[in-house]
Structure 1
Amino acid sequence: MTTIVLDIEGTTSSTESVHVGLYAYARPRLGPHIDAHRDDPVVREVLAEIGADDTGAAVRVLHGWMDGDVKATPLKTLQGRIWAEGFAAGELTAHFFPDVPPALRAWHAAGHRLAVFSSGSVASQRPWFAHAADGDLSALVGHWFDTVNAGPKREPAAYERIAGTLGDPAGLLFLSDVPAELDAAAAAGWRTTGVRRPGEPSAAAPFGPHPVIATFEEVRP
């Protein structure tokens, strides 16, 4: 059976739902979260990575990364913690394209394994899938990968690390809307498929040699 590895933003879910919905939720809560959890080892490590002991200085760096859509690990870590709290409090609901939940359930029922590889932290991935409007999808996913436990998504080494967990690269299929990520996965020996969603940032991107689909209904594991 195939192991299908999913990107999130622009692939399973709209970019707007992340950049507008989740980013707007996290932005004003970064400072308060740091102050409320300053003794937490994770928060201390984040501040050390940013190079700022002062909350205000740290927040200015974090906001700058958000404005530039920088995939910085300290930012992703804090966002993930804040989003997890928001989902738990019922203040957030995850968005998925309509074709995604039934496809995930069908693939899982057919015996295919599912995994996620996103630049968003694992701490944010799990509640995202657990709080879909269609119900809890997290139980369908067996493995979660981010830039901390795998590496940058545009580097083949990240996909080699993931294959070390999931098995033979020839049995791994990566779905993403970003051609550079697909190139990296292919260089590591994976099967790849580009996802071209109307209205998404990569809707007109050249996917080169990668097969391209418009909905998950077209995927043939």
Structure 2
Amino acid sequence: MAEKKSNPLSEIVFNVIVPSVILMKFSGEAQLGAVGGLLVALAFPVAFGGYELVRYKKYNFIALLGIVSVLLTGGIGLLELDTKWLAIKEALIPGLIGIVVFGSTFTKFPVVRKLVLNDSVLNLGLINERLKENNNQHLFDRCLTQSNYMFASTFLFSSIMNYILATVIVTSKSGTEAFNEELGRLTLLSYPMIAIPSMVMMMGIFYFVWRQIRRMTQLETAQIFKAQ
């Protein structure tokens, strides 16, 4: 039975577009106000994230960090803290994920190994058999280690870019209409400037691993992947 997955379009709508529009267009005193606009905008990603966790029963570290990130943003706005804390928070979340990914390299379960070596997608039995036959198991393990380092670097990129964008875009006092508008602009711009490049990097990592599997096993693509 195929594993249920969340809809990427829904994620963009509820986590990016709707909150950005509310923050940028409905935070004036004539609409929701600065506090009301912030609360309503942040309610969408929190509600969507909670719904996804319950529906797909994936209580993972990254999903929970996402909800915590949104709640921290709300706290910064409601408590009217210095905007430097927003920049720190924006850098901290992907930074923590990157540290976890990097640290997993030194365990028996690197994150990339779990992501890539999926028995429902790959013919792992045949792949492992060929790796042993060609005496390439150690080389493939080294390939996965390198891939894990590269995967961790994508979160480093995200952390640095988040900090820079937050510092440049959000300059108004928190708890104000201007702060909400800038926060909405930050949310909107972070997708094309950070999320998409990060996804491209991750696709490059998966392509690298696939090429190494082909080279080390001498298997064709149709043999590597299971027919869906």
Q: If the TM-score is normalised by the length of the shorter chain, which range does it land in?
A: under 0.3
Give the greater-gyration-radius structure (CA).
Answer: 2
Q: What TM-score, normalized by structure 2, do the two folds share?
A: 0.23
Between 1 and 2, higher relative CO (CA 8 Å, sep ≥ 6) is seen in: 2
Q: Which structure has more helix as a fraction of its residues?
A: 2
Q: What TM-score, normalized by structure 1, do the two folds share?
A: 0.24
